[in-house]
Amino acid sequence: MDQSLGPRVRLERRAARRVAARYLPLALTVRLRPAVPVVLLDISPRGVLVESPCRCGPGTRVALQVTSRDRSWVLQGRIVRSAVVRLAPSGPVFRSAIAFDDFCDLFGVVKAQAG
């Protein structure tokens, strides 16, 4: 007997809207300080999702250096989750969610710069 109550509904738990990096109107370079390059997957005023070769466990304090063609920001935060997403020839690649210490409307700043 089917005991389902209908289609599953996923509740949105995020505190802020995320924007995928490919939809940003301006190219950004992102590094974990001091010099670990990361791939920006998405960003919100509350945090980012990145991929990198860096293994950082939950709770690890980090500083992100975000650079556009004419401006640079340093964003402080902490790793809230991290997992291996694939194995590259150079080693494992980790996908990490970073929560910013302070609300950061970087997307609004980037939109203004691009416009």
Is residue 77 a part of any domain in this protein?
A: yes
Q: How many residues does the chain have?
A: 115
In a domain, 12, yes or no: no
Q: How many Å apart are CA 2 and CA 4, to the nearest integer? A: 6
The answer to whether residue 37 sits within a structural domain is yes
How confident is the model at residue 19, as a pLDDT? 65
Structural domain tally of the chain?
1
Predicted local distance difference test score (pLDDT) of residue 113: 47
Contacts 24+ apart (CB under 8 A), 24-28: 24/107, 24/110, 25/110, 25/111, 25/114, 25/115, 26/68, 26/69, 26/110, 26/113, 26/114, 27/68, 27/69, 28/66, 28/67, 28/68, 28/110
Q: Which domain holds residue 87?
A: 19-114
pLDDT digits (tens, 9 = 90+) for 6-52: 565 554 454 556 666 666 667 777 888 878 889 989 888 888 899 99
Checking if the pLDDT of 83 tops 80, the result is yes
pLDDT at res. 114: 46
Domain harbouring 84, CATH code: 2.40.10.220
Question: What is the predicted pLDDT for the residue at 112?
Answer: 47
Least confident of 1-10, 19-28, 82-91, 94-103: 1-10
pLDDT digits (tens, 9 = 90+) for 52-76: 998 888 999 999 888 888 888 898 9
**Quick check: 21 and 29 in contact, CB under 8 A?**
no
